[in-house]
Chain A
């Protein structure tokens, strides 16, 4: 029920807003309450999972104990009985033998066909990875509501409705453990985001909204086709009676893997939607425009959470279900794309004069680290990839918030028109420097943990990718520091065009960005509790790829914590 209420709280709040239709003052308070409430619920879920440690006591279904994907809390209801699966089973052997002795009949006739209904399910669950993503989504939504407080003047009620519906969609995607249900939420998030970008975006908002929607939809249609083909194949092989449930299907495929050529075909189809969503080079072209044109809250959620749906999809669907194809085909292909993305994104960011566009390109680069980590296929790398998902959400979310604050004050984001803001906006500049350091991967802050683990993981698997990827860290420091130098230090330069009196960051804005900064520091200084949360989930996936006795993720985490403390 907790799982259900996490999705429904923002939805109910959105419905309430739609029915009451109140003005801006009421709408934003309701939205804030709902967002904070959802955050509280997801922290509650985290506490519940954390207190149960490694156990899966909360799950009744025992068949998935051995599965590479193991939700630790679950809630299942039948959605649609799509058809029947016919499994041919021999009747108990000794009975047949007894009959044969008497009648001498042929043995092969004595089989029983078992018909089991095949169901789509509302199958919600949570494991360590998804609960972290839930908390990230919830906290970024609170920030998104706070940053829109004054910025959104027109059609504010509708704005908060879209924001809350988007939140529900993202939370649902992270909670879904049914293949189709995941796809439903994955696809559904397009709708509110289309309106967020299209109505409240910048000057090219309509073009950006259409382009982002159609581009993403076209990719996800191929993913849907892949899902259908995967489920049908599993059904025809008679592997499991619940071919839509990710844990069950993963458990079945673990022992009866699909033929290699099928795996590669399915991986190609499934990943079509994910590579566009992440986005990996060369499918990133929709991203800079959509990020730049979206309102600040939209950019925060788009960069902070929605891009993670792609990497989460790789992690949740491709890795556990298609191990052979991922190892033989996925690693070189997606690894290469990720490495190119890291370098290309960083160079792209270096060339920008619009701060928001710079941050958008930096996302392409940072998401490359996530993918690199995930496709290293060992516990260090995947742990790093997941941590990088969280870290990028926090730091890029905060960067977009800060850029939004600068834009609210000066109505420009052009670096050529700004300079020396540190003297005019000291506190905001402190935040900016802090977040840039976190984003650039300064040891002691969160970016370092994720990037290091991802690179270490990849170095163990494919040193070359890791070596090229590491240049992204240097380039990242370069473009971020360059942005700081041009925009925030040096002699004061303010745009000539009219703008109101400039005040430094206020309490509300500080409340939006402060918690994110605190988390950046916390994860950087003490990553262990976070790494522990995901350790078992990572380990169960890695088991598929690792035949030899492995250093468990938890040990790796401990080693890393020690090494970080050593560097300090």
Chain B
């Protein structure tokens, strides 16, 4: 028993560090704030450095070689290349989020705010690690519950409260949906262990497919689609993004998407080619392909078309994040559906440009670029001169040239133009969809192309406002240092990875192959 536990711990060392740091925040934080709520000036800097330290140690542990999971595969955690990838994404986005959050919280709230952030990041990692429906659900909640607190702490006025409440209610509802789906899955397969479930199904022991599995897949996909903000489960996002603080909107634009996508990848598994050849065979992945295909197309079009109409910056970015969720779902629906089969009974696609690597590559690309934009807004927005609407950006090229330049790099990244990594993200998705060899894949690629052209318009409009329109107030803006470091980090990454993407792409190709 003890042996089991230490083995499990050794698999999740980086997460243990994050959780321990968060516990210290919660335990020590209250003692540094007086009973009337007065905190020493600059307390937030100390907590910020503490968070970065925790992320640094977690990163150092992440660099260590991945321990091999138990041979039985029946342990609650698994450790594979996907875990390595998700840890990297959460470490990078976590660092940027800490930088964004740095000056967004008051001194007295900073301990709790940073603690919640660390918990959320640990939760996202645990989703990738989970090899059991129960652990997976707990990890999902470890992301959700601290998010409610984070949202509330970040902005306490009426609109902030409304946003928090809205997010809370819908998030709880979606969690319930997921749990409901999990229970059906357990009922059908007789175990909560994911490896065992997939093995049972692959061995074709359930024949014919139990009808309740269809219910299960539908509710799980629907519940997780809330996290990914897929249309029609997206409607809360614009209101919540607009109503909450920049740091919270930044968090919501990335971490729940990572959580939802990774959970979907874990639960749905991969399609088996046998399933397509032999009439009797079926599997979860292939059954969900059509559903995710419809979600992907609806999400891309709704997100992009509605983003064209927006004036409020965070609302616009909310719709942009919905559109990008659609692009990711393109990758997911390619990853879970059966590719075209040649006459020889092998998939026609002879290359390894799979949907899964493309999806994960895009996830990382999107995470870095969109966080950079939020970091810029957080950095330049001040009480007297907020950046709330697109008009507030007018003349930014004069009032803060460096910021405007970095924003341009990031926005072209979201558009998918070279020389930013956004181009490679779209390119790999194109490759994956076309490589699939089916009409299904080709239709997705065409929709992606149309949407990329639509999206160019609203990103270009933002750049146009910054460079082509005169400012109302020509005095220079000052940028908040920590968040601006975050912006620079994101922009530099998105340029650098464009020129040498091979290390990441090679690592992603190992996943699931």
In the complex, which residues 186-225 of chain A have their Cβ closer than 8 Å to any Cβ of chain B?
187-188, 190-191, 194-195, 198-199, 205-206, 209-210, 213-214, 217-218, 221-222, 224-225
Residues A82 and B464 in contact, CB atoms below 8 Å apart: no
Chain B contacts for A85, CB-based, 8 A = 350-351
Residues B449 and A224 in contact, CB atoms below 8 Å apart: yes
Residues A214 and B417 in contact, CB atoms below 8 Å apart: no
Residue on A with the closest CB to B402? A18
Check: A81 CB closer than 8 A to any chain B CB: yes
Contact with A along B410-443 (1 / 0, CB 8 A): 0010000111000110011011001101000000
Task: Given A198-B468, A214-B460, answer yes or no on A228-B434 (Cβ-Cβ < 8 Å).
Answer: yes
Task: Given A81-B505, A187-B417, answer yes or no on A228-B350 (Cβ-Cβ < 8 Å).
Answer: no
Check: A180 CB closer than 8 A to any chain B CB: yes
Chain B contacts for A61, CB-based, 8 A = none
Residues B449 and A80 in contact, CB atoms below 8 Å apart: no
Query: CA–CA, A165 to B43, complex, Å?
Result: 45
* In-complex Cβ contact of B467 among A81, A198, A214, A238 (8 A): A198
Chain A contacts for B460, CB-based, 8 A = 194, 210, 213-214
Min Cβ gap A179→B in Å is 11
Chain A contacts for B212, CB-based, 8 A = none
Query: CA–CA, A137 to B486, complex, Å?
Result: 38
Count of interface residues, chain A, beta-carbon cutoff 8 Å: 40
Check: B332 CB closer than 8 A to any chain A CB: no
Check: B92 CB closer than 8 A to any chain A CB: no
Check: A405 CB closer than 8 A to any chain B CB: no
* In-complex Cβ contact of B417 among A86, A191, A209 (8 A): A191
Q: Which of B17-25, B113-121, B272-280, B451-459 forms part of the interface with chain A?
A: B451-459
Chain A contacts for B463, CB-based, 8 A = 194
Chain B contacts for A83, CB-based, 8 A = 351-353, 431, 435, 509
Residues B427 and A221 in contact, CB atoms below 8 Å apart: no
Chain A contacts for B505, CB-based, 8 A = 80-82
Query: CA–CA, A232 to B351, complex, Å?
Result: 9
Min Cβ gap A14→B in Å is 12
Min Cβ gap B270→A in Å is 17
Min Cβ gap B192→A in Å is 35
Residues B352 and A213 in contact, CB atoms below 8 Å apart: no
Contact with B along A77-94 (1 / 0, CB 8 A): 011111111100000000
Residue on B with the closest CB to A219? B453
Chain B contacts for A236, CB-based, 8 A = 348-350, 437
Residues B431 and A82 in contact, CB atoms below 8 Å apart: yes
Residues B453 and A214 in contact, CB atoms below 8 Å apart: yes
Residues B453 and A225 in contact, CB atoms below 8 Å apart: no
Contact with A along B492-507 (1 / 0, CB 8 A): 0000000101100110
Chain A contacts for B351, CB-based, 8 A = 82-86, 118, 232, 235
**Do most interface residues of chain B lie in helix, strand or loop, or is the interface mixed?**
helix
Check: A229 CB closer than 8 A to any chain B CB: yes
* In-complex Cβ contact of A217 among B424, B427, B453, B502 (8 A): B453
Query: CA–CA, A337 to B428, complex, Å?
Result: 34
Query: CA–CA, A188 to B416, complex, Å?
Result: 11
Count of interface residues, chain B, beta-carbon cutoff 8 Å: 41
Residues A232 and B453 in contact, CB atoms below 8 Å apart: no
Residues B464 and A222 in contact, CB atoms below 8 Å apart: no
Chain B contacts for A235, CB-based, 8 A = 350-351
Check: B231 CB closer than 8 A to any chain A CB: no
Chain A contacts for B306, CB-based, 8 A = none
Check: A184 CB closer than 8 A to any chain B CB: yes
Residues A206 and B464 in contact, CB atoms below 8 Å apart: yes
Query: CA–CA, A80 to B456, complex, Å?
Result: 25
Query: CA–CA, A232 to B339, complex, Å?
Result: 14
Query: CA–CA, A84 to B505, complex, Å?
Result: 12
Min Cβ gap A472→B in Å is 33
Chain A contacts for B461, CB-based, 8 A = 210
Residues B445 and A180 in contact, CB atoms below 8 Å apart: no
Chain A contacts for B430, CB-based, 8 A = 224-225, 228
Task: Given A187-B417, A232-B435, answer yes or no on A225-B446 (Cβ-Cβ < 8 Å).
Answer: yes
Chain A contacts for B424, CB-based, 8 A = 80
Interface centre among A187, A210, A214, A228 (most CB of B within 10 A): A228
Query: CA–CA, A64 to B457, complex, Å?
Result: 41
Residue on B with the closest CB to A118? B351
Query: CA–CA, A63 to B452, complex, Å?
Result: 37
* In-complex Cβ contact of A81 among B350, B427, B456, B502 (8 A): B502
Residues B452 and A221 in contact, CB atoms below 8 Å apart: yes
Task: Given A85-B350, A188-B418, A217-B456, answer yes or no on A80-B434 (Cβ-Cβ < 8 Å).
Answer: no
Task: Given A199-B468, A222-B449, A232-B434, answer yes or no on A180-B417 (Cβ-Cβ < 8 Å).
Answer: no
Residue on A with the closest CB to B442? A229
In the complex, which residues 46-98 of chain A have their Cβ closer than 8 Å to any Cβ of chain B?
78-86
Task: Given A191-B412, A206-B468, A225-B446, answer yes or no on A214-B350 (Cβ-Cβ < 8 Å).
Answer: no
Residues B419 and A188 in contact, CB atoms below 8 Å apart: yes
Residue on A with the closest CB to B457? A214
Query: CA–CA, A236 to B460, complex, Å?
Result: 37
Min Cβ gap B389→A in Å is 18
Contact with A along B183-220 (1 / 0, CB 8 A): 00000000000000000000000000000000000000
Residues A81 and B349 in contact, CB atoms below 8 Å apart: no
Residues A228 and B431 in contact, CB atoms below 8 Å apart: yes
Query: CA–CA, A209 to B428, complex, Å?
Result: 29
Query: CA–CA, A221 to B435, complex, Å?
Result: 18
Query: CA–CA, A235 to B353, complex, Å?
Result: 11
Chain B contacts for A82, CB-based, 8 A = 351, 353, 428, 431, 505
Query: CA–CA, A225 to B447, complex, Å?
Result: 11
Residue on A with the closest CB to B509? A83
Query: CA–CA, A191 to B502, complex, Å?
Result: 25
Chain B contacts for A78, CB-based, 8 A = 502
Chain B contacts for A191, CB-based, 8 A = 412, 417
Chain B contacts for A214, CB-based, 8 A = 453, 456-457, 460
Min Cβ gap A159→B in Å is 12
Residue on A with the closest CB to B412? A191
Min Cβ gap A365→B in Å is 29
In the complex, which residues 382-414 of chain A have their Cβ closer than 8 Å to any Cβ of chain B?
none
Task: Given A190-B417, A199-B468, answer yes or no on A84-B352 (Cβ-Cβ < 8 Å).
Answer: yes
Residues A86 and B449 in contact, CB atoms below 8 Å apart: no
Min Cβ gap A158→B in Å is 8
Residue on A with the closest CB to B353? A83
Chain B contacts for A205, CB-based, 8 A = 468
Chain A contacts for B450, CB-based, 8 A = 221
Chain B contacts for A225, CB-based, 8 A = 430, 434, 445-446, 449
Chain A contacts for B352, CB-based, 8 A = 83-84
Residues B464 and A80 in contact, CB atoms below 8 Å apart: no
Min Cβ gap A512→B in Å is 27
Min Cβ gap A15→B in Å is 12
In the complex, which residues 100-142 of chain A have their Cβ closer than 8 Å to any Cβ of chain B?
118
Query: CA–CA, A78 to B418, complex, Å?
Result: 17
Residue on A with the closest CB to B354? A83
**Leading 10 A-B pairs by shortest Cβ distance:** A83-B351, A184-B418, A83-B352, A218-B453, A83-B353, A221-B449, A228-B430, A198-B468, A86-B350, A80-B501
Chain B residues close to A by CB (< 8 Å): 348-353, 397, 412, 417-419, 423-424, 427-428, 430-431, 434-435, 437, 445-446, 449-450, 452-453, 456-457, 460-461, 463-464, 467-469, 499, 501-502, 505-506, 509
A-B contact pairs, 28 of them (CB 8 A): A79-B499, A81-B506, A82-B351, A82-B505, A83-B351, A84-B350, A86-B350, A118-B351, A158-B397, A185-B418, A187-B418, A188-B419, A194-B463, A195-B467, A199-B467, A209-B468, A210-B457, A213-B460, A214-B456, A221-B452, A222-B449, A225-B430, A225-B445, A225-B449, A228-B427, A228-B431, A236-B350, A236-B437
Q: Besides the contacts A84-B351, A187-B423, A191-B417, what 4 more A-B pairs have beta carbons closer than 8 Å?
A: A217-B453, A228-B430, A228-B431, A232-B351
Chain A residues close to B by CB (< 8 Å): 78-86, 118, 158, 180, 184-185, 187-188, 190-191, 194-195, 198-199, 205-206, 209-210, 213-214, 217-218, 221-222, 224-225, 228-229, 232, 235-236, 238
